[in-house]
Amino acid sequence: MKFTRAAGILLHPTSLPGPNGIGDLGTEAHHFLDFLANAGMKIWQVLPLGPTGYGDSPYQCFSAFAGNPLLIHVPGGGDHFPTDTVDFEHVIPHKRALLHGALDRFVPNDRYRAWVEQEKEWLEDYALFMALKEAHGGVSWTDWDSGAAQRDPVALASWRGRLGDDIERIRREQYFFFTQFHALKKGAADRGIQIMGDLPIYVAHDSADVWANRSLFKLKEDGSLIVQAGVPPDYFSATGQLWGNPIYDWEAVEAQGYAWWIRRMRAAFHMFDLVRIDHFRGFEAYWEVPGDATTAIDGVWAPGPGAKLFDAIAAALGPLPIVAENLGMITPAVEALREQLGFPGMSILQFAFGGDGQAKEFQPHTFPRERVVYTGTHDNDTTMGWWNSTGEGDSTRSTDEVSREKAFARTYLGTDGKEMNWVLIRAALASVANTVLVPMQDVLGLGGEARMNLPGRQGGNWRFRFSWEQVTPAIASRLRELVDLYDR
């Protein structure tokens, strides 16, 4: 599917300003839409919006269908939280208390009841899963009472009776989330802005999806992992990345006509205008690591479902406005699959100047029009953090390699290295690639302290927030001038 020539900003809603210590879907999100419109931006890309679990990562959610209650806007609250970071440890109990008060005051109406009925296919499993998780002290479902863990019908009926109030509260949370999200989506559409979502290939082991659909995953009888997902050693980590996600039993998924994936993609396109699929290469072949491994080094490549999955989804849903995240160890077979499906791939300008032999494909003079270009992604350092790095302590590059990279970047870009964030933004916008997305941190020229995620780091990620004091009128004007200049 061809994308029109446009530019946008990558910003997760948790990073928005506002009270209560975390960004949400309320007033400040609509204010951000105004900023995007004034700056000539036509896309707002967000990270996955599901309810976060381990490590507060939006890529490890309790559901592939539900929304994150922390993103629900609740009036009132407090301003005693830091403005430049999300202190999850203190924000979560504070926000939950505010939300519970609002839910207690909510009077169910016909619109709410109709929504619950419409979404019951995923909502009932999710609400029961979360209520059971709370009743078991928050532990993983594999450590629950055996009747609940194994979904014994008699046991589940008993638990539903005991947890009725909690289940209803969780339904109401989801209604609040989706009501606010679709109001935001309408606000975006009214301003000519598309929202791009992010869909991880895998779901969390501790999720309603796995608990309710065990036959679709490679699990032992007790629900523990036979194998787990990850990637081999790469740019980000010398030992690879061990994700801990269960791997699909693709034969079982196919035997059901890919029904679960079709439901997942239908839900995604109901929310988003465009969808980026994270780790697209796993559909051609994926890195399979033993379930009890402690690093991702000792894995093997196993075949993915290939085009059959997407053919089934397209047959059910029509044309698929999908961006394929094709970074990392990408083979000709992965690129052939992506091109067969007609999904644009990604290029990262921060990767364009190294000496590893793959840099050229990230250089603007090699871009095709059907490409989505980033200065950096949520997994990269900010552009200023990258540019100011010496390479000290880097497990994948030496200081000499970093020096050569910077020298080549100066020559290629014709710059003395000042305002490197704007140099990369201009290079991206000037390219022939139809789509350009820039992290908000790069628009603001922030350093490595504003990095969203460091792959492999167990804590301290996903915390960045900006403030409106950082967003000067000159920034919006500068972006607008560039998008007008380069016909975006």
DSSP state of 226: S
Question: Which residues have CB under 8 Å from 326's CB, separation 6+?
Answer: 280, 281, 334, 335, 338, 345, 346
Distance CA(134)–CA(198), nearest Å, equals: 27
Integer Cα distance of 420 and 414 in angstroms = 11
Query: Please, are residues 87 and 21 in contact by the beta-carbon 8 Å criterion?
Result: yes
Q: What is the token pair recorded at 100?
A: 């519970």
The packing angle between helices 153-162 and 120-135, to 10°, is: 80
Q: Is 278 among the catalytic positions?
A: yes
CA 15, chain centre distance (Å) = 13
The answer to whether residues 298 and 290 touch, using CB atoms and an 8 Å cutoff, is yes
Whether residue 325 lies in the annotated active site: yes
Q: Point out the catalytic residue in the list 325, 381, 405, 442.
A: 325
**Which residue is associated with the tokens 């519970």?**
100
Q: 214: alpha, beta or left, given left = phi > 0 and alpha = psi -120 to 50?
A: alpha
Task: Identify whether the C-beta of residue 430 lies closer than 8 Å to the C-beta of residue 404.
Answer: no
Residue 112 per-residue DSSP state: H
* Residue 119 annotated among the catalytic residues of the structure: no
Determine the Cα–Cα distance for residues 9 and 442; give it in Å rounded to an integer. Answer: 10
DSSP tag of 372: E
Q: Give Dmax over CA atoms of the chain in angstroms.
A: 70
Secondary element (H or E) of residue 154: helix 153-162
Q: Check 379, 381, 405, 442 and give the catalytic one.
A: 379
256 by DSSP, 3-state: which?
A: coil
Annotate 243-269 with b (16+ C-beta within 10 A) or e (fewer).
bbbbbbbbeebeeeebebbbebbebbb
Measured between alpha carbons, how far is 417 from 423 in angstroms, rounded to an integer? Answer: 8
- Residues 384, 423 contacting (CB under 8 angstroms): no
Are 257 and 314 contacting, i.e. CB atoms less than 8 angstroms apart? no
3-state secondary structure of 42: coil
- Spot the catalytic one: 56, 119, 198, 278: 278
Q: Kindly provide the residue ranges of all beta strands, DSSP E only, lying in 141-190, ordered along the sequence.
A: none
For residue 36, which of 13, 8, 3, 17 has the smallest C-alpha distance? 8
Instruction: Answer for the pair 195, 273: CB distance below 8 angstroms, yes or no.
Output: yes
Point out the residues that are catalytic: 278, 325, 379
